[in-house]
Amino acid sequence: MALEKFADELPIIETLKPQKTSNGSTYYEVTMKECFHKLHRDLPPTRLWGYNGLFPGPTIDVNQDENVYIKWMNDLPDKHFLPVDHTIHHSEGGHQEPDVKTVVHLHGGATPPDSDGYPEAWFTRDFKEKGPYFEKEVYHYPNKQRGALLWYHDHAMAITRLNVYAGLAGMYIIRERKEKQLKLPAGEYDVPLMIMDRTLNDDGSLFYPSGPDNPSETLPNPSIVPFLCGNTILVNGKAWPYMEVEPRTYRFRILNASNTRTFSLSLNNGGRFIQIGSDGGLLPRSVKTQSISLAPAERYDVLIDFSAFDGEHIILTNGTGCGGDVNPDTDANVMQFRVTKPLKGEDTSRKPKYLSAMPDMTSKRIHNIRTLKLTNTQDKYGRPVLTLNNKRWHDPVTEAPRLGSTEIWSIINPTRGTHPIHLHLVSFQVLDRRPFDLERYNKFGDIVYTGPAVPPPPSEKGWKDTVQAHSGEVIRIAATFAPYSGRYVWHCHILEHEDYDMMRPMDVTEKQ
């Protein structure tokens, strides 16, 4: 069934209200529940899982340095409504883990380890069963970091892809006072956009494959798939919505919350975005661009000036397909802006050129340089298993930076695809990318560069926590591992890869 595009108005995600506040601390409670929401005017309600029963979850809006405490509660059914593959991670040591388990990760948060959402810190409904790393029911978010758009999502071992696809994702905004001086668009003109893809059946239900298209008889059923691209683009929980805007400048905080898909976003009238921020907050200076590329989990903070387009309808388009060309019926369009609202008053917001100071990480003392490869192998069923540095999840920890140390990670990607690499706890700077001869590497195993190291484009010159590692490139990033020691992870943010087995534990160790 072909759904009409731009039939539903863009929902503005509601903001979570605290249970109580006292002495600079704020306490929230959030319950994961099964829920039903209409994703398009012409579809029946879709069965989903949502934080507080909402899809996306409520936006958590906090101030820099505000101590936030959240009790995350699981009130989900005992049986998953998407296909769980119990052959991956669920049966370690002969113990089969529960079908439904959850743990919340604040993506981009500088968070103590027991509040980071470690994949094995999962819990079931009413905390009846708990994973081996479960420590506490109430998580602490100190928010001692720059203002930025973060997001929270499920991170449970081996079923992150299913829980996020089911709807367990929400926005988290940290605001800092300094930003107010820039006079950026605010209030109703500051709009978070969570973009994701899903495949919907004719009855409105979510479709997630129970295995590859042509499974062999030896594969388990269900069986994990190596990637997933949906044919329906959702923004803030609606399929191809429209938004009525005034002829003025708006700020859009854009998140790609898809499992696998990378978006390349443009305006169909040739209009420009002014990028002011990335994953870790404001850039050093604004960047004018006609296209932005967002891999899963990446965020872009942009301004769009609609003042010259009064009365026009403008489509936010996508130029990147998922294993092929974009299709005008499915993934070529994202949403529509209708510049049809009357201007409420003079637009006094600004489009500043200079935004924030950015230290040069390479001027710091570099304590360690690591070379890490994106690798692949096969499991006993012949399924592809993507790995980090030829290690599986349960292999001993190999990345153990010292607390407070600065490291450069050189990440080599000899695979055929781009992988969005995410480090927990830290933000990092991209130093450069350098192409190498992929065919030679895969034949002989040696790196022969085919060009010079290229510094990041202006869009990547801010703080990042997720970065696109392209095929046939070595990308170098620099991070200071602070402010907490303890057990964290780093992984590919294609969720099907992360679940099996492109994720590794990382220990930030105390100084000797």
Residue environment code for 247-283, b if the CB has 16+ CB neighbours within 10 A, otherwise e: bbbbbbbbbbbbbbbbbebbbeeebbbbbbbbbbbbb
**pTM beyond 0.75, yes or no:** yes
Segment 110-125 shows an average pLDDT of 98
Q: Which range (38-47, 83-92, 139-148, 449-458) has the least confidence?
A: 83-92
Mean pLDDT confidence for 90-109: 84
Q: How far is CA 489 from CA 76, 105, 107, 406, in A?
A: 26, 11, 12, 17
3-state secondary structure at position 407: strand
Q: Which residues contact 495 (CB under 8 A, 6 or more apart)?
A: 160, 161, 164, 165, 228, 259, 260, 296
pLDDT of residue 96: 78
Confirm if 278 and 466 have CB atoms less than 8 A apart: no
Question: If you ran DSSP here, which 8-state letter would residue 246 be given?
Answer: -
Alpha-carbon separation of residue 130 from 120, 140, 169, 236, 395 (angstroms): 9, 19, 21, 31, 22
pLDDT digits (tens, 9 = 90+) for 37-61: 999 999 999 999 999 999 999 999 9
Mean pLDDT (whole number) for 288-302: 98
Mean pLDDT, residues 11-20: 97
Element housing 409 (H / E): strand 406-413
pLDDT band per the 50, 70, 90 thresholds, residue 90: low
Cα–Cα separations (whole angstroms), residue 308 to 175, 249, 269, 271, 451:
30, 10, 11, 10, 42
Q: Are the CB atoms for 58 and 52 separated by under 8 Å?
A: yes
pLDDT score recorded for residue 214: 74
The radius of gyration of the chain from alpha carbons, rounded to an integer in Å, stands at 22
Residue 476 above 70 pLDDT?
yes
Instruction: Evaluate whether 490 touches 503 at the Cβ level (below 8 Å).
Output: yes
**Model pLDDT for residues 360-391, shown as the tens digit of each residue:** 998 999 999 999 999 999 999 999 999 999 99
Residue 91: per-residue pLDDT: 57
Strand partners, 35: 48
Q: What are phi and psi of 11, to 5 degrees?
A: -75, 140
Give the whole-number percent of the chain exceeding pLDDT 90.
94
**Which domains are delineated in the chain?**
20-179 (2.60.40.420), 187-338 (2.60.40.420), 361-508 (2.60.40.420)
DSSP string, 441-471: HHHH----BSS--BPPPGGGSS-BSEEEE-T
Residue with tokens 């003025």: 248
3-state secondary structure of 495: helix
Q: What is the pLDDT of residues 412-454, one digit of tens each?
A: 999 999 999 999 999 999 999 999 999 999 999 999 999 999 9
Residue 236 in tokens: 């803030």
Give the H/E segment covering residue 406: strand 406-413
Phi, psi torsion values for 344, nearest 5 degrees: -75, -30
Q: What is the mean pLDDT of residues 305-310?
A: 97
Of 482, 487, 483, the closest CA to residue 505 belongs to: 487
pLDDT value of position 512:
62
Task: Supply the pLDDT for residue 92.
Answer: 54
Count the Cβ atoms, other than its own, within 10 Å of residue 437. Answer: 15
Rounded Cα distance between 81 and 79, Å, is: 6
Of 335, 127, 327, 92, whose CA–CA distance to 230 is shortest? Answer: 327
Residue type, 390: N
Residues of the chain with pLDDT > 70, as a percent, come to 98
pLDDT bracket for residue 23 (50, 70, 90): confident
Looking up tokens 């790995």 gives 387
Beta bridge mates, 408: 369, 478
In tens, the pLDDT along 188-243 reads 999 999 999 999 999 999 999 999 887 677 899 999 999 999 999 999 999 999 99
Q: What is the pLDDT of residue 511?
A: 73
Burial environment of residue 120 by CB neighbours within 10 A (0 to 12, 13 to 18, 19 or more)? buried
Q: Assign residue 425 a region: left if phi > 0, alpha if psi is -120 to 50, beta otherwise?
A: left
CA 111/CA 482 separation, integer angstroms: 10
Give φ, ψ of 401 to 5 degrees: -65, 150
Rounded to the nearest angstrom, the gap between the alpha carbon of residue 205 and the centroid of all alpha carbons in its chain is 23
pLDDT digits (tens, 9 = 90+) for 327-353: 999 999 999 999 999 999 999 999 999
